[in-house]
């Protein structure tokens, strides 16, 4: 601030001299012009228009002037401040426009660039289906159990009560990896690609103490040619429950619960007599056709493609665990009983989603997989 104003002559007050005010104005204009960006302009604004800027301080001196001098000094200071504010606003607009233009260039999106170079893809419906079925049982307290795909012949056949000359051993067209213990072997146990997930039953029983409740999803192999309805590599889900007092009623209830969870509350299953060496009694299990619910049977007006108007769809095999299997795995058949079932996932996918050719499932073309989505 200038010295106390005693003379009351505006021209004598240092800060109010015309050339001083012009100098302050010009300094402000020069500072604004020199500000290269909005931050620098903000600094210049504080320095030249703020409460302690030279022009603001000069303005304060005016109050002390005699009335006749106030108008003249006020006009000069006012004009200078007006010019400063105008220059500030102009520079502000200029710098904002520069910034906007720069941001537009720097943040521009080239909409012609190729998009989605790494497509999200989709999970294979076989995996999704196996997990969905497994989840039904996991939610009932079952544990997932897995076994090797290259399996000892003993687990694949012997432990499951297939005798060396058992016709079923030949019925299941087996890939032998090493040696064969069949009727005409030298007695050594061979190594096979497992022909079903049932060997996991034996492994689960040997690994655990009863009660045992396991669900075993997995890949299995048979010497079939790949065609629309066969594949040498396919997938099964196996279920095994061994506990005190289990009966066929528990098996039936479990199967009904499974098809209801997967296909709807009004679903049910039926059992037809069959034979497996490792279950006794054994049955073939069918589920009600989830499309026509049996209404197509004997009804020419309501034919059903899904079940060929038979009303039932064949799912797989099941039965009460053969006591011989329990004994082979060190479980006391006097104390424990159990049930088991197993079925193919490819078949389920075929009728559930109208997949007509099994080759689509193995060829790995993403156009087949994508419509099934990313369900996890
Ligand atoms: N393992 C049998 C098959 O592959 C199915 C099955 C499993 C049957 C469990 C009975 C019990 O055909």
Q: What is the rounded distance in angstroms from the CA atom of residue 339 to the CA atom of residue 239?
A: 8
Predicted TM-score of the model (pTM): 0.69
Which of 195, 198, 236 gets mutated to test ligand 1 (max ligand atoms within 8 A of its CB)?
A: 198
Q: What kind of fold does domain 125-372 have according to CATH? A: BirA Bifunctional Protein; domain 2 (3.30.930)
Which of 255, 314, 317 gets mutated to test ligand 1 (max ligand atoms within 8 A of its CB)?
A: 317
Provide residues with CB under 6 Å of ligand 1: 196, 198, 238, 276, 279, 316-319, 340-342
* Predicted local confidence at residue 177, as pLDDT: 86
How much is the average pLDDT of 305-314? 92
* Predicted local confidence at residue 9, as pLDDT: 53
* Predicted local confidence at residue 10, as pLDDT: 47
Domain ranges in the chain are: 10-106, 125-372
| Band (104; pLDDT cuts 50, 70, 90) | very high
* Predicted local confidence at residue 180, as pLDDT: 63
Please state, rounded to an integer, the average pLDDT across all residues of the chain.
89
* Predicted local confidence at residue 71, as pLDDT: 83
| Band (74; pLDDT cuts 50, 70, 90) | confident
The tokens describing 109, both together, are: 């999106």
Q: Is the pLDDT of residue 172 over 60?
A: no
**Where do the DSSP E strands lie in the chain?**
143-144, 150-152, 176-178, 191-193, 212-221, 233-243, 269-276, 279-288, 312-321, 337-344
Q: In this predicted model, what pLDDT tens digit does every residue of 7-36 receive, in sequence order?
A: 555 455 777 888 888 999 999 999 999 999
Of 293, 133, 256, 247, nearest to 197 by C-alpha is 133
How much is the average pLDDT of 253-271? 96
* Predicted local confidence at residue 183, as pLDDT: 46
Of 178, 173, 278, 286, nearest to 234 by C-alpha is 173
């Amino acid at each position: 601030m200038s010295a106390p104003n005693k003379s009351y002559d505006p021209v004598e007050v240092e800060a109010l001299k015309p050339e001083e005010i012009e100098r302050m104005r010009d300094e402000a204009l020069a500072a604004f012009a020199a500000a290269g960006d909005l931050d620098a302009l903000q600094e210049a604004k504080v320095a030249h228009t703020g409460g302690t800027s030279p022009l603001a301080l000069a303005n304060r001196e005016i109050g002390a002037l005699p009335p006749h001098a106030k108008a003249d000094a006020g006009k000069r200071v006012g004009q200078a401040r007006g010019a400063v504010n105008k220059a500030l606003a102009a520079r502000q607009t200029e710098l904002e426009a520069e910034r906007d233009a720069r941001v537009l260039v720097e943040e521009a999106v080239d909409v012609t660039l190729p998009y989605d170079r790494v497509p999200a893809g989709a999970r294979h419906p076989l995996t999704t289906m196996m997990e969905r079925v497994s989840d039904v049982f996991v939610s009932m307290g079952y544990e997932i159990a897995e076994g090797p795909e290259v399996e000892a012949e003993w687990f694949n056949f012997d432990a499951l009560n297939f005798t060396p000359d058992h016709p079923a051993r030949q019925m299941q067209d087996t890939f032998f990896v090493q040696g064969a213990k069949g009727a005409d072997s030298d007695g050594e146990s061979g190594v096979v690609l497992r022909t079903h997930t049932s060997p996991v039953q034996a492994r689960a029983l040997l690994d655990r103490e009863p009660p045992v409740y396991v669900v075993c999803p997995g890949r299995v192999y048979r010497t079939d040619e790949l065609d629309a309805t066969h594949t040498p590599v396919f997938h099964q889900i196996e279920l095994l429950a061994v506990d005190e007092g289990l009966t066929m009623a528990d098996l039936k209830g479990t199967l009904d619960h499974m098809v209801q969870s997967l296909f709807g509350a009004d679903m049910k299953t039926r059992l037809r007599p069959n034979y497996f060496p490792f279950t006794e009694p054994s049955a073939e299990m069918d589920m009600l056709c989830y499309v026509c619910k049996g209404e197509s049977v004997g009804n020419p007006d309501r034919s059903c493609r899904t079940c060929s108007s038979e009303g039932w769809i064949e799912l797989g095999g099941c039965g009460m665990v053969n006591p011989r299997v329990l004994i082979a795995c060190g479980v006391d058949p006097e104390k424990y009983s159990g049930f088991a079932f197993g079925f193919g996932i490819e078949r389920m996918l075929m009728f559930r989603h109208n997949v007509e050719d099994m080759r689509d499932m193995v060829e790995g073309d993403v156009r087949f997989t994508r419509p099934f989505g990313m369900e996890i």
